[in-house]
Each structure stands twice: as C-alpha cells, then as structure tokens.
A and B are shown apart, each in its own frame.
Chain A
C-alpha cells in the first residue's frame, strides 16, 4: 500500500518529482509463476500435452457439430481456427487419389490441385466478400468456408464405399444423390454463417462464388472414377 501511495505522488505534480529519490523502484508486476492456481488463459505451459491437444480437438469437434446443424450462431466465427479446414482438405485430397490416374493427363485432380482449389478458392471468395464490403474478417471467412467442406468430404467417403460395390448406373445414381445433398448442405451451412456479415443488397453477389466453389468440389467428387 505504501508503494501505491508513493506511486500516486507523481500525479500530483510531475515537475516536482525527481526520479532518483521519490519514486520507489519496487512493486509487484510479475505474473506469479508456478502458482498452483490453474489459469488457462495466461499459462498453458504447464499442462500435460494431452490436455492441450484435446482442447484443440474439442474445439474442432464442436465446430463440426455446428456445421452439421447450421443455425445462425456465432460459435464458428468467434473462435475460428484453421485446423479443421486443413484436416478436411487433406482428407478430401487423399480420398480423391487412387483414381483413374494411370495417365496423368486424363485423370482426376492431383493432390496439389485439390489443395490449390480449396485454399485459393477460399481465399478468393474471402477477398471477394471483403471487397464487396463484408464485415467478416479474413480468417473467420476462411474458417467457415473450410469447415463447410465437411459434408462434401463425408460424401466423398460414402462415394468411395459405394464404388467398392461397383460402378454401374445404380451406383452413379446413388453417388449423384449423395453429392447433390451434401453440396446443398454445404452451401446452405456456409450461407447461414456468412449471410449476416454482408451488406443487404449484395448478398447474392457474395453467395454465388460460394455456390460455384462447392459446385466445383462436388463435381470433382462425382467424377471420381476408380482405376481399373
């Protein structure tokens, strides 16, 4: 308390204060290290690694649930992270491999092409929405677009399972239905999250590139044909 009183004296008259004598160089400015109180916001250095990983995984899983049941919530936007989109993009790119890729020329998209399309597509759509006057931040938008690829990744997994059974007309019809539903779901989920941040008379201008983006991904999934 004495230190506080001493420290408040300079506010009375700054010109009167001489530095060497009147201001005590003491105080309590250090963060208590190694204290037993668990303050996760300031010091996560001491927790077990499992706890750190699980916290991030829980956050990612929470966002997956939000994509599955898209409501106008801000959970995806407030605590954005890019782990989920990275995971989904890698999964999708891996699942799209092993196709009719015996000749590089005529096959499906390469791993790098899927990555480029997903990430550069998301970046371009984000830039587009920001240039049109959207209020969402860059990484929040990337987060939303990446997480909403989840239905399409699930559709890809289903398609590969269906293709194990055969690649005739029935399997194509099933795959078409699955991809169409998941494309609609993805577009609907992302517009549910992004819609509020756009100026009202430009909503369609922002939604159309999102629609195109998921349409192209859906097309890549639908045209995946297994090698023979």
Chain B
C-alpha cells in the first residue's frame, strides 16, 4: 500500500520545518531513552536518516508503542487490547515488502530504517518463526524418509516430537537473542552517550524477518547431497547475516573498535550456530553408497557432521 508511506513523506516536510523553527521542542523519543539526545540528533542534522527517524515521532495516530518495555507512550496500557493491536498495524503489501527486504540486503539500506520505517510489527516475526518451526521439522522428517527409503529395515516414523524441539529452539533464539542484544546495546548506548539505538520491538522485528531466508533453505535441505546443503547454509547465512550486520553496524560503529567488532561477531556467530544446529539435528547426514562399489564406506546414519578440515 502506498498511502501510509506517502503520508509519512508528506509530514516529513512539516515536521522538518517545525523542528528547524524550534530546535528545543521536545519530540517523542522513539528509541532512545533520553529525549535530549534525540532532539540533538535532529538539530545536529546527522543526515536525512536522523531527521526521518524523529519526524515519525511527530505523527499522530501512528502507534507510539515502540518502547515496549517503557510503555508510557503506548496507546493504552499493556492490559488493553489496543496496545497489542498497535503491533499488528501492517498491510499485506508492507509485510511482503519487508520479507523481500530481508532477502535482498543492499549495502546502503538499513533494514530498520528503510523497511520498518518506525512501524515495527509482531506479525512477521511470529508467523515466520512458526512457519520455520514446521518447515524445519517436516523437511527433516522428509529428508530422513527419502534417505532411508531403500533400506529394508526402515519403518517410517513421523517423529512428531521434533516439532516441539524445533519450536523451543527457534522461539528462544528469536526472542532471547534480541532481548540480550537490545539490553546490551542500550547499556552501551547509555554508557557511551550514543545516539540512534533501536527499540526492543525493532530488534525483535529485524531478527524475525531475517529468519525468513531459512524457510526455503530448510525445504531445499531435503536434497540429499551434502555439498548442496552446505552451499545452501553458506548462502542463507550470508544473506541473513548481512541483513543483521547492516542493521546493527551503524549503531555499534561509534563504540570502541573492540566492542563494535565483538558485537557484530557475536551476532553472526549466534546466527550461524542456529543454522548449523538446525541442519545437524534435523537433517541426518548420510553417505550414499552405490551398491556395486565394494570398497566404499558403509552407509552411516549420523546426526553429527563428519569431520571437516
């Protein structure tokens, strides 16, 4: 839908004029816990992106509940239904646009600033996680079935308990890691007086959408060749990891070099661990042996990867 975005651009000029006329005016802080630093960012003119960040705070009717844990600016208290309804204020086209953005990370585009545009939603992260849970469990089951189909002793089992395990792992990753990262960034931001941190909801949102690439990857993991699977993992990790890195690098780069690199490295490593862990647990590695070759290794059904040099 073009109209919500058009409205934003219209108010861009109004709010910019307002802010330039009265630099000391208090603006609603969207993500930073300090109002002063936000207005300082606006008037210092750190770039079009910073002003755009603040203008959206001036919009009325837009949900102001991006401070999930703060909650004072939310529409209604957290016990009302409207509070949660504000997290689902997205249209079909917006969700599709965000999904596309998570699959095609371009160097200039920060996912949060470009695609979320201060309207983070919980629809995408939640349903992408649910879909990923079922796609990983079902594809793992299918790949096991296809691998062992020929052996005479094999009896198909649905392995339904894997859905539970997948659900626990993926939901914990999609919620605990953003909590940790947001807490860490807020703490560093408070310690270092930085500007432009992200709210909790935006962090959850970008993590949720970045998991989308794993859905087609897990379906393609049914293909029983190891090199295909590892190629797919590398491709998915590159795409998804770069979305995360491009999003969080502008925030951490003002920190000390060591902390910045360490933060980004941790993000990437955790993402990698999720991908590799899912692959190893749900998709058994099997070495296919052509029956006519007597010198080859016997069929191994393992959930551990073979040694990688």
Q: Do A and B bind each other?
A: yes
Chain A interfacial positions (CB closer than 8 Å to B): 99-100, 104-110, 113, 128, 130-133, 201-205, 208-209, 212, 215-216, 219-220, 223-225, 228
Task: Say yes or no for B127: interface residue by CB 8 A criterion.
Answer: yes
Q: How far is the CB of B148 from chain A (nearest CB, A)?
A: 13
Nearest B residue (CB) for A116: B164
Q: How far is the CB of B16 from chain A (nearest CB, A)?
A: 29
Q: Could you pull out 23 A-B pairs where Cβ atoms are within 8 angstroms? A: A100-B155, A100-B158, A105-B159, A105-B161, A106-B159, A107-B160, A110-B160, A128-B88, A128-B127, A201-B91, A201-B92, A201-B93, A205-B92, A205-B123, A208-B127, A209-B130, A216-B134, A220-B158, A220-B160, A223-B141, A223-B158, A224-B158, A228-B155
Task: Say yes or no for B171: interface residue by CB 8 A criterion.
Answer: no
Known interface pairs A205-B95, A205-B123; A113-B160 also in contact (CB < 8 Å): yes
Known interface pairs A212-B131, A225-B155, A228-B155; A108-B160 also in contact (CB < 8 Å): yes
- How far does the alpha carbon of A212 sit from the alpha carbon of B138 in the complex, in Å? 12
B85, B160, B161 — which one has the most chain A CB atoms within 10 A of its CB?
B160
Task: Say yes or no for B232: interface residue by CB 8 A criterion.
Answer: no
B131, B134, B155, B157 — which one has the most chain A CB atoms within 10 A of its CB?
B157
- How far does the alpha carbon of A56 sit from the alpha carbon of B87 in the complex, in Å? 39
Q: How far is the CB of A226 from chain B (nearest CB, A)?
A: 10
- How far does the alpha carbon of A208 sit from the alpha carbon of B157 in the complex, in Å? 28
Nearest B residue (CB) for A109: B160
- How far does the alpha carbon of A184 sit from the alpha carbon of B136 in the complex, in Å? 22
Total CB contacts across the A-B interface at under 8 A? 70
- How far does the alpha carbon of A71 sit from the alpha carbon of B47 in the complex, in Å? 55
Task: Say yes or no for B268: interface residue by CB 8 A criterion.
Answer: no
Q: Is the CB of B87 within 8 A of A225?
A: no
Nearest B residue (CB) for A207: B92
User: Per-position contact with A for B173-199: 1 when CB-CB < 8 Å, else 0?
Assistant: 000000000000000000000000000
User: Per-position contact with A for B149-174: 1 when CB-CB < 8 Å, else 0?
Assistant: 00000011111110000000000000
Partner of B157, one of A107, A110, A131, A205: A107
Q: Can you add 4 more A-B contacts, CB < 8 Å, to A212-B134, A219-B134, A223-B156?
A: A106-B158, A130-B81, A203-B92, A219-B138
A128, A132, A205, A216 — which one has the most chain B CB atoms within 10 A of its CB?
A205
- How far does the alpha carbon of A180 sit from the alpha carbon of B254 in the complex, in Å? 54
Q: Is the CB of A205 within 8 A of B90?
A: yes
Cβ contacts under 8 Å, A228 to chain B: 155
Cβ contacts under 8 Å, B87 to chain A: 131
Q: How far is the CB of A105 from chain B (nearest CB, A)?
A: 6
Cβ contacts under 8 Å, A225 to chain B: 155-158
Q: How far is the CB of A111 from chain B (nearest CB, A)?
A: 12
Nearest A residue (CB) for B157: A106
Partner of B84, one of A131, A201, A224: A131
Nearest A residue (CB) for B131: A212
Q: How far is the CB of B278 from chain A (nearest CB, A)?
A: 18
Nearest A residue (CB) for B88: A131
- How far does the alpha carbon of A203 sit from the alpha carbon of B155 in the complex, in Å? 41
Q: How far is the CB of A191 from chain B (nearest CB, A)?
A: 14
- How far does the alpha carbon of A201 sit from the alpha carbon of B95 in the complex, in Å? 11
Cβ contacts under 8 Å, B156 to chain A: 100, 223, 225
Shortest beta-carbon contacts, A-B, top 10: A106-B157, A223-B158, A131-B88, A204-B92, A201-B91, A109-B160, A108-B158, A132-B88, A225-B156, A131-B85
Task: Say yes or no for B1: interface residue by CB 8 A criterion.
Answer: yes
